[in-house]
Structure 1
Amino acid sequence: MAGNLEQAKALKRSLPTLSKEVTVPSAFIRNEEERPKVAHDAFSNNVPIVSFVDIDSTDSARRSAVFRNIVDALETWGTFQVIDHGVDPTLVSAMADLSTRFFQLPAEEKLRFEMTAGKRGGYAVSSHLFGEEIENWREFFTFFSYPVESRDFAMWPEQPKGWQEVVERYCEANMKLASRILEVLSESMGLEKGAFKEACLQMDQKVLVNFYPRCPQPELTLGLRRHTDPGTITILHQDHVGGLQITRDGGRTWLTVKPIDGAFVINLGDHAH
């Protein structure tokens, strides 16, 4: 049993080099019903896009239109893409660049921050959950950033240079955006502006940075298995490669969310539902 566990760990840690192979190891191959139904770049234009340009407008009609668009998108789709959200695009680019450079570091450097039992964050391959039967084709780095006192800087990498400064600014900007969206949802439902935020008691924020290496047989595996998001709200940024897929009929059909420059994908989490 111990030998099998060590073999699985070794396989997962070798994922960056497996992208150079011509076949996918059996540990990553999904059952037929779980395999991708739509290509990662077969983008759909149907996912709602909501501009926040009038979110604080003094014109009540224009402001109400934004509220209505958000509610309609969430009731119909459970998700939308937000543009004109106020997060500095140079900050988003800096965060994306640093993330890419982190995953380009040698394996031994990344494994200094390996997520092991008892740790609330760090670097890992596939999943942080023990005992999953099929591996995910991804590397990731995760950590808690709010409340501020929950930050474990010992688990924040020193490289690439500038990581901590950029991450702190990025987390602050996204926390403000999340708070604003929760306020809008509260008002849209006829509640006090801070109702949803107060219901959360403490506004936690968890950052998850995913990297999906090139896959030799993408039709057989998934970067991340089908799931719902925990928490209240997810703010997701995807690069131009895309790959995020959603369903609104229980998984019978899937749509690939088209990447839009400067946009965030907003998902309601399990707690909000």
Structure 2
Amino acid sequence: MGTLLYAQAVPVPTLVEQGVTKVPEAYVCFSDGFSGEVQDEERIPVIDLLDLESSHGRQRIVGEIERASREWGFFQVTSHGVSEETMEGIVRAALEFFGQPMEQRMELFSGEPKMNGTRYGTRLDETGVQDWRDFLVVGKCHPLSEETFETWPSNPPSFRSAALKYCQEIRALAFKVISLASESLGLRPDRLEREFDPLDQLLLFNRYLPCPQPDLVLGVRSHCDQGLLNILLIDDVPGLQMRKNEESPWVPISTNRRALVVNFGDQMQIATNKRYKSFEHRVLANPERARLSISSFFNPAVEATIKPLPEFVDADHPSRYRPVSFGEYVKVYMARRLRKGTPESLES
């Protein structure tokens, strides 16, 4: 199967509108259905942040984050401070955006990744097996310039205000989580924040349309996130799965309408010298229902140097990674087509 085949792949929304009953070869990941054991009994931890302001409550929460980060790299948070109104507003705006005719969405189309801009797409790259989704990237949410804000979708009319409000409330939660994670590592509450200041922010809206042969495709291929932190809003349609290693079963991640999913990415693994790991995850397709997810990624600045913190490097724990800029890291990461794990070429 050559590059040309994949470059000419018909976008998923068009396939669904045409009523396709057989998945085109460009999207087929598994010829006989996807493999890998799934463990339905296990659940990622749920951490209630309600008691955060009391010393006893904070101590409990820090301990729960430490255990969740070591074992899972994923956890849910409740009482997180992002209002239900704000979450409903961004979901409504996203559904209205994806509900527009294809030609309107294509006004924001770009075939190339953009570090700071807005991009609508129906595939991540022009080669390799394609994901069964279409998506919208909105960046750079922070720091937000007037020029960048003007690249955000103007249709539906509510989109920009809904996205801005959501970004602001999610950013407050992100720094709360980063502070707690810092404490859970035995560091000062502001240690990770200072190390990664300034921390860029972007939104990724994924829409997964129904698939006639869901066991042959993936909504998103298995990967680890490249940044420091992701905060994820998902609906009640199942699909997201994670696993602890290649021998472990896949664990489905579901959530209630008020919870948010948190996971750490490669930069947390590098900063902690692998004390906390970036865990592999993927998204399955659904035969009947569309699914929406909204990711809020928090990444180092492009020019920032990434390396293990000195607190986690000593004679017994030598540095596992060589210093590089985050921009260089992203280039290596993308060249590997999102394959799981930090790139071996960046290890010491």
The alignment's TM-score, normalised by the length of structure 1, stands at 0.89
> In the alignment, which residue of structure 2 is the partner of 1:29?
28
Q: 1:205 aligns with which of 167, 187, 201?
A: 201
| Closer, same or farther: CA 267–32 of 1 in aligned 2, 3 Å | farther
**SS, match of residue 215 in structure 2:** coil
Shift of 1:61: 2.2
Q: Quote the Cα distance in structure 2 between the aligned partners of 1:169 and 1:206.
A: 13
Q: Quote the Cα distance in structure 2 between the aligned partners of 1:71 and 1:55.
A: 15
CA contact (8 A) 1:38 1:256 kept: no
> In the alignment, which residue of structure 2 is the partner of 1:265?
261
| Closer, same or farther: CA 182–152 of 1 in aligned 2, 3 Å | same
> In the alignment, which residue of structure 1 is the partner of 2:44?
47
Q: Quote the Cα distance in structure 2 between the aligned partners of 1:32 and 1:8.
A: 16
Give the share of equivalent positions with the same residue, in percent: 28
Q: 1:109 aligns with which of 98, 104, 109?
A: 104
Shift of 1:27: 0.6
The number of aligned residues is 263
AA aligned to 1:52 is L
| Closer, same or farther: CA 46–100 of 1 in aligned 2, 3 Å | same
AA aligned to 1:264 is L
Pairwise mapping of residues 179-194 of structure 1 onto structure 2 (< 5 A)?
Answer: 179-194=175-190
Shift of 1:56: 1.4
Q: Quote the Cα distance in structure 2 between the aligned partners of 1:49 and 1:146.
A: 28
Q: What residue ranges of structure 1 are gaps of 5+ in the alignment? A: none
> In the alignment, which residue of structure 2 is the partner of 1:239?
235
Shift of 1:21: 1.5
Q: 2:84 aligns with which of 80, 89, 92?
A: 89
Pairwise mapping of residues 219-258 of structure 1 onto structure 2 (< 5 A)?
Answer: 219-250=215-246, 252-258=248-254
**SS, match of residue 225 in structure 1:** strand
Q: Quote the Cα distance in structure 1 between the aligned partners of 2:36 and 2:192.
A: 36
| Closer, same or farther: CA 18–130 of 1 in aligned 2, 3 Å | closer
Shift of 1:216: 0.5
Q: 1:79 aligns with which of 66, 69, 74?
A: 74
Q: What residue ranges of structure 2 are gaps of 5+ in the alignment? A: 270-348
**SS, match of residue 246 in structure 2:** coil
> In the alignment, which residue of structure 1 is the partner of 2:121?
124
AA aligned to 1:123 is Y
Moved more, 233-242 or 247-256: 247-256
| Closer, same or farther: CA 33–107 of 1 in aligned 2, 3 Å | same
| Closer, same or farther: CA 11–146 of 1 in aligned 2, 3 Å | same
| Closer, same or farther: CA 10–215 of 1 in aligned 2, 3 Å | same
Identify the structure with the greater strand proportion.
2
> In the alignment, which residue of structure 1 is the partner of 2:345?
none
| Closer, same or farther: CA 268–34 of 1 in aligned 2, 3 Å | farther
AA aligned to 1:11 is A
Alignment deviations for residues 105-143 of structure 1 (CA, whole Å, 9 cap, x no partner): 11100000002347443100021x343x10000000002
Q: Quote the Cα distance in structure 2 between the aligned partners of 1:193 and 1:150.
A: 32
1:18 and 2:18 aligned: no
> In the alignment, which residue of structure 1 is the partner of 2:167?
171
Higher relative contact order (CA 8 A, sep 6+): 1
Alignment deviations for residues 232-262 of structure 1 (CA, whole Å, 9 cap, x no partner): 0000111011211000122641011122121
Q: Quote the Cα distance in structure 2 between the aligned partners of 1:259 and 1:44.
A: 15
Q: CA RMSD in A?
A: 2.3
> In the alignment, which residue of structure 1 is the partner of 2:149?
153
CA contact (8 A) 1:79 1:268 kept: yes
CA contact (8 A) 1:137 1:223 kept: yes
| Closer, same or farther: CA 38–107 of 1 in aligned 2, 3 Å | farther
Q: Quote the Cα distance in structure 2 between the aligned partners of 1:29 and 1:173.
A: 38
